[in-house]
Chain A
Amino acid sequence: MIAAFAGILACQLAGEFVVHAFALPLPGPVLGMFLLFAFLVLRGGRSAGAVPQRLGGAADGLLGHLSLLFVPASVGLMRYLDALAANAVTVILAVALSTALAQAATALTFRLLARSEPTSQP
């Protein structure tokens, strides 16, 4: 468990290092995700899809309550309630409509192409 967590942190650290060293427009943890993914692919060979048991356990533990981890940042909304209230109608409509449109466009495009691709059918 400790080794798995250390591995995850090492990927994040490597991600942060590369992002800052090369001034990439990405957060370190997102690059860290791609690094861990690359590590799993390189390590996996023929047994693709099998994650080391402890790493799997640590990841499932972190992701099992992902909502909790967004709570402290979300409480930060309290500081901008006035700024948001001043433009409430615009902000609510823009966020709501644009989010719904983006979700619909993404899911419909995915479905359209996944259907026409025979390999994607199990």
Chain B
Amino acid sequence: MIPTLLKPHPEVWVYLAASPLSWLTLTLAAYLVADRISIACRRHPAANLVALAAIFIILALKATGTSYETYFAGAQFIHFLLGPATVALAVPLYRNLERVRATALPIAAALGVGSLVAIVSAVAIARLLGAPHEIVASLAPKSVTSPIAMGLAEKLGGAPFLTAALVIATGVFGAIILTPLMRALRITDPAAIGMAAGLASHGIGAARAFQIDSVAGAFAGIAMGLNGALTSIILPLLRPLLGL
């Protein structure tokens, strides 16, 4: 649609498509629309912000014949802020220091159990369904943040970029099921909910936990960080057991 509008001035479209400005604006606009929809759905978990915004942008890119590389050249400025935001997770963690200290044992136990379940269940289910080795290896580290998951999958014979896609799918799915699943299990403690969100569905789960409350967000941050570290240690050790 946009290229048609600009048909009398193709050079304008060429210029704008190459400039980060268009893709930054598109990203923010898609996010704002997604946020409006989420508010209109009274923050229903299925109206996930990341998924909605990404779908709008993918449709816009397909409609304008724009490659992901062109888009990302502009959107990387938003992507860059993920690093500082990860560092900033230390702030809610510190604000809840007393609570974290008092629950050190439950945190450690939940981390160990959750990390094993995340890895073993993904591998077992994929195996049962007869998935090829590359898919199984790419699924194994799906619950941890993508830079860790990509490196781990590659060592197991997986495809790093397929892993990145599976990590995102895990995060979005985890964010969507978090509150219904916790309600079904009758879990109301925000610390337990946050642990589950961050451990199983990394940063996208943590973003969802922050929507619930800051205690859930703080525990999601610590769970994400610690599970990243733990998975990178235990996954290579589990390798013979998992047959990878």
Contact = CB atoms under 8 A, between A and B. Distances in A.
B128 to A, nearest CB: 9
B75 interface: yes
B126 A96 contact: no
Contact of A71 (B53, B117, B164): B53
Given A27-B228, A106-B113, A120-B103, A8 B171 contact: no
Most A Cβ at <10 Å: residue of B83, B89, B206: B83
A45 B23 CA distance: 45
Interface residues of A, number: 79
A107 B182 contact: yes
A33 B90 contact: yes
Contact of B135 (A12, A74, A87): A87
B225 A34 contact: yes
Interface string A1-34: 0000100110110010000000001111110111
Interface string B122-161: 1001100111100100010011011110011000000101
Interface in A87-122: 87, 89-91, 93-114, 117, 119-120
Contacts of A97: 121, 125
A120 to B, nearest CB: 5
A67 B113 CA distance: 27
A9 B86 CA distance: 11
Interface of A: 5, 8-9, 11-12, 15, 25-30, 32-37, 40-41, 44, 48-49, 51, 55-56, 58-60, 62-80, 83-84, 87, 89-91, 93-114, 117, 119-120
12 contacts: A8-B84, A30-B229, A33-B89, A33-B221, A34-B90, A65-B31, A87-B135, A91-B126, A94-B131, A98-B117, A109-B110, A109-B113
Given A95-B142, A107-B187, 13 more contacts: A9-B84, A27-B86, A33-B89, A41-B97, A68-B53, A73-B168, A76-B164, A80-B164, A90-B131, A99-B118, A99-B142, A108-B187, A111-B192
